[in-house]
Amino acid sequence: MKVVVLGGHDRMKSKVEELSKKYGLSIKFINQETQQNIDQALTYADCVIVFTKLIGHNMVKLAKKYAGDRCIFCHSHGICNLEKSIRKILEGNV
């Protein structure tokens, strides 16, 4: 399963990689609008987790445009909330 995480601090990258291995997911971590292939990553993702307080409006619009109903919006940020969102995805509660 492919998951894209939009937003977050640079220091979260290693934790995201750990969660990827722990749950057997392919997680792409995008925290800057300047990163390439955002459109492609969002289009092919099974689910997109958006940290709304840590990204700009343009990235939220891109997430809605390309992923639509496959988006989970987290209004608080951190690894704990990311892991909760991943569990929801795996349980099918999204």
What does the pLDDT look like over 31-66, one tens digit per residue? 877 667 788 899 999 999 999 888 888 888 989 998
If pLDDT is split at 50, 70 and 90, which confidence band does 78 have?
Answer: confident
Q: What is d(CA 66, CA 25) in angstroms, rounded to the nearest whole number? A: 20
Q: What is d(CA 36, CA 69) in angstroms, rounded to the nearest whole number? A: 23
Structure token digits, residue 94: 């999204």
pTM flag (> 0.85): yes
pLDDT at 35: 64
Averaged confidence pLDDT in the chain: 88
Q: Are 19 and 27 in contact (CB under 8 A)?
A: yes
In this structure, the chain runs to a length of: 94
Q: Which residue has better confidence, 86 or 54?
A: 86
